[in-house]
Amino acid sequence: MPYIDDIEESKFPEKEIGGVVYARVCRSEDVFERQGKRIAFAEDIDMQIAIFRLGGKVHCLHNICPHRHADRMHDGIIRNGEVTCPLHGWTYFIESGENADPRQGRKNLAKYAVFEEDGYVWVEKPDIKAIPKWRR
């Protein structure tokens, strides 16, 4: 089943706050409760993030599951504040990106700063240089 169609790849408006570059990635009304949303900053899948809304608050994590380097976290199953990768079931805390089950190893999802302003979602832009070489 194709899943790549929902990638929103484009140049997003940016602004710098306290030395951090934020991108205005979507409207707040497009991020639904307990449903992930994928945003792609470039063709490189490591430049994807996943936005979640829990209890009205938005959270932003890297979209790449470290188990098999799959860009599917936005498609994960969300329950009890955790998101479970739809491919093999690795689970992470949405608020922190931390691994929720030690049996699956110690790898976490990167967490990015996010806020809402005037009906839009702004996220900290991923830094491609901060992404480990083994994942490129």
Instruction: Note the residues at the interface with ligand FES (CB under 6 A).
Output: 65, 67-68, 70, 85, 87-90
Q: State which residue, 68 or 79, has the beta carbon closest to ligand FES.
A: 68
Token pair recorded at residue 59: 């959270």
Shortest reach from residue 51's CB to ligand FES, in Å: 18
Residues 135/31, Cβ–Cβ less than 8 Å? no
Distance CA 100, CA 126 (A): 23
Alpha helices in the chain (DSSP H): none
Q: State which residue, 27 or 79, has the beta carbon closest to ligand FES.
A: 79
Q: Which residue in the block uniquely carries the two structure tokens 């009205």?
A: 56
Shortest reach from residue 33's CB to ligand FES, in Å: 23
Token pair recorded at residue 15: 């602004």
Q: State which residue, 85 or 123, has the beta carbon closest to ligand FES.
A: 85
Residues 70/37, Cβ–Cβ less than 8 Å? no
Token pair recorded at residue 45: 């899948």
Shortest reach from residue 25's CB to ligand FES, in Å: 23
Distance CA 61, CA 39 (A): 11
Shortest reach from residue 89's CB to ligand FES, in Å: 6
Q: State which residue, 27 or 68, has the beta carbon closest to ligand FES.
A: 68
